[in-house]
Chain A
Amino acid sequence: MHEITLTVNGVVRQASVPARRLLSDCLRHDLGLTGTHVGCEHGVCGCCTVLLDGEPVRSCLTFAVTVDGHDVTTVEGLADPDGTLSPVQRAFAECHGLQCGFCTPGFLCTVTALLRDNPAPSDEEVLEGISGNLCRCTGYQNIVKSVHRAAEIMAEEPWAGAAGSPRVVPEDPRAGEAGDTSR
């Protein structure tokens, strides 16, 4: 067994794992974070995507021991601590970007990083960005809409939290409205 320390969603967590423990299983079984879903377990479906040091990776194609000492953000870490959904989460809810929700954690993590690196992606860039995530319900059209909507929300509310990057302390007086989804 290997003693490892991960910073998961800003919290330092320790686990004792065999070397063959996949990061996806470490998060779900050892740390109790079942938001990360496990679909194909060979890197095709994208459900298990998490942010490793801010970059989206397949947690089913990563050993927990390999990332000892690193920073992991899961879908549980995307919302604000007070429960306010992140712009990407809100956009998926608004645009019906999910149905059964199984693939959603992977999409949310992937898109969070995509929009951080490219705040105004073209249709083509969105398709390329989410090409590694499979959804069997939506037919993708609403997911693409959700990504564009999330980009809009982030442009309108630059103070809204973006997980995987240092959170900007709001100085804007309207910051209190960040949780208002009525707009």
Chain B
Amino acid sequence: MKPPPFEYHAPRSLGEALDALAGAGEHGKVLAGGQSLIPLLNMRLVAPAHLVDINRLAELAAVDVEPGGVRVGALARHAAVERSGEVAAAQPLLRQALRLVAHPVIRNRGTVVGSLAHADPAAELPAVLALLKGSIRLARPGAVRDVAAEDFFTGPLESAMDPGELAVSAFFPAPPPRSGTAFREVARRHGDYALAGIAALVALDDEERITSATVACVSLGPVPVLVDVTEAVGHRPPESADWASAARAVQDRIEPEADIHATAAYRRHLAGVLTEQALRDAAREAVGA
């Protein structure tokens, strides 16, 4: 289990990194935390000819809390974002989800933007970005573009990122006023990929009636599945909301697959249970907000 050989690039500036990636084109791959890429290399499931290591680009490690949300740089480790009190205050869902990402030791090295660029539908962070309607900033020499989460994730491990582009940051919008978030998942062992997971966002009006309720699903489709369940729960206070109807709405939308870990029917069952739990948690947080 050793990685195949590759040409190694160790750029010292963002410009050098973009040039190296542009030169490598479809044969290039970015190395940030490596917690998904290096297992794939070790198992020889991928064999990029060029690896562009961005670990020397300290400028990409920034985590900026802005008035509208949190911007996370490409080299910001999961652990740094998880531990930041400022981030947790600005967007609580990030910490709620990051605690479920693999194990603490993996989070010391893995990066938030790397998890997004990897676009694994079984991963937590793509669902977070989708739920919050965030975006990813992609750069190539002389050009930068922002891609909305709904357009970014195009399939399992597939994204709208073109060969030669670098995901330089991700933006997680702040929650609306009087809203709450929650993340629930079931995994066979703590830290494993979830059999199913649900991220929920519930917002209330001044009379504490639900004005919007949405969930994003993990491991329940080829991409993070976003379901607006506002109609299903009804424009009511959380204590009389129809959570069960929301759970059914989610179960109707998803297309879970069966594998060695769980049947599709079991995943669908989990999706319903987790949707109810996550929505209740999020509503409780919204009432306190």
- Residues of A at under 8 Å CB distance from B? 2, 18-20, 22, 25, 41-43, 46, 49, 52, 55-58, 60-63, 65-66, 110, 127-129, 131-133
Contacts and interface: CB of A to CB of B under 8 A. Distances in A.
Contact of B35 (A20, A41, A43): A43
Contact of B106 (A2, A43, A129): A43
B106 A19 contact: no
B42 A19 contact: no
Interface stretch (B3-11, B17-25, B259-267): B3-11
Contacts of B108: 52, 55-57
B88 interface: no
B42 A63 contact: no
Nearest to B4: A20
A107 B51 CA distance: 31
In this complex, the member of A25, A63, A128 whose beta carbon has the largest number of chain B beta carbons within 10 angstroms is: A63
Contacts of A132: 102-106, 191
Contact of A22 (B2, B7, B105, B109): B2
Contacts of A2: 8
B1 interface: yes
Contact of B10 (A52, A65, A128): A65
Contacts, number: 85
B34 interface: yes
A56 B79 CA distance: 11
Given A19-B51, A43-B106, A128-B104, A61 B38 contact: yes
8 contacts: A19-B5, A19-B7, A57-B105, A61-B35, A62-B38, A63-B31, A65-B10, A133-B105
B211 interface: no
A65 B53 contact: yes
Given A43-B39, A131-B191, A20 B6 contact: yes
B104 to A, nearest CB: 6
B31 A66 contact: yes
B38 A18 contact: no
Nearest to A54: B108
A66 B39 contact: no
Nearest to A42: B39
A128 B103 CA distance: 8
B43 interface: yes
B105 A110 contact: yes
A20 B191 CA distance: 27
A65 B53 CA distance: 9
Contacts of B102: 132
Interface in B166-188: none
Q: Which 10 pairs across A and B sit closest by C-beta, in order of nearness?
A: A132-B103, A19-B8, A42-B39, A41-B1, A20-B3, A61-B38, A55-B108, A56-B105, A132-B105, A57-B109
Contacts of B55: 66
B263 to A, nearest CB: 24
A9 B1 CA distance: 27
B42 A42 contact: yes
Interface string B57-98: 000000000000000000000010000000000000000000
